[in-house]
A = this chain, B = another copy of it.
């Protein structure tokens, strides 16, 4: 009998969820089987069900924990008394750092949420839509204040968010530049592209 090893302050469920993130990222949610996951946890597939309700529950956990982190940070930044373009830069940097440090989770949340089931699916889509609208509102504020070029704000949001997800390629890359250099390059191009 091979018990799941836990570290301090992590439940066995936490171990499973984070192994799931790795697996879902590399194979995709649908292609990753519970038997795969069990192997990577070091246990039989059936044993996983002592800790989780279902495979989809793993996806819920991942998607919503990521979404919540981003929403919380947005709340924080929105209320700071700084120019819009600086808010955008801060949000951008937060996204980049999250994508670098919590790659698996963030990636899964970004690419695999389609496989959520209702009501979680609609819920997630709503949060996502609202999040983007709030970003667009900041950009529109920046346009009004002549900090940002007169562009279509939703398009700018879509470029920002997707450009960030390109960090996936950076992770895969053999000869990586440092995370800090990556961040500066991205900010240069993207904030530079928005600024008048």
Contacts and interface: CB of A to CB of B under 8 A. Distances in A.
Interface stretch (A44-52, A62-70, A149-157): A149-157
A152 B159 CA distance: 19
A168 B155 CA distance: 11
A35 interface: no
A contact face: mostly helix, strand, loop, or mixed = helix
Interface string A152-185: 1011101101111111111001000100011001
A162 B163 CA distance: 5
A1 interface: no
A30 interface: yes
A185 B155 contact: yes
A31 interface: yes
Interface residues of A, number: 39
Nearest to A173: B154
B115 A31 contact: yes
Contacts of A132: 169
A81 interface: no
Contacts of A152: 177, 181-182, 185
Nearest to A165: B162
9 contacts: A154-B177, A155-B186, A159-B166, A159-B186, A163-B163, A189-B194, A190-B193, A191-B193, A192-B192
Q: Sort A-B residue pairs by CB-CB distance and give the 6 closest, nearest first.
A: A193-B193, A162-B166, A30-B30, A158-B166, A189-B193, A155-B185
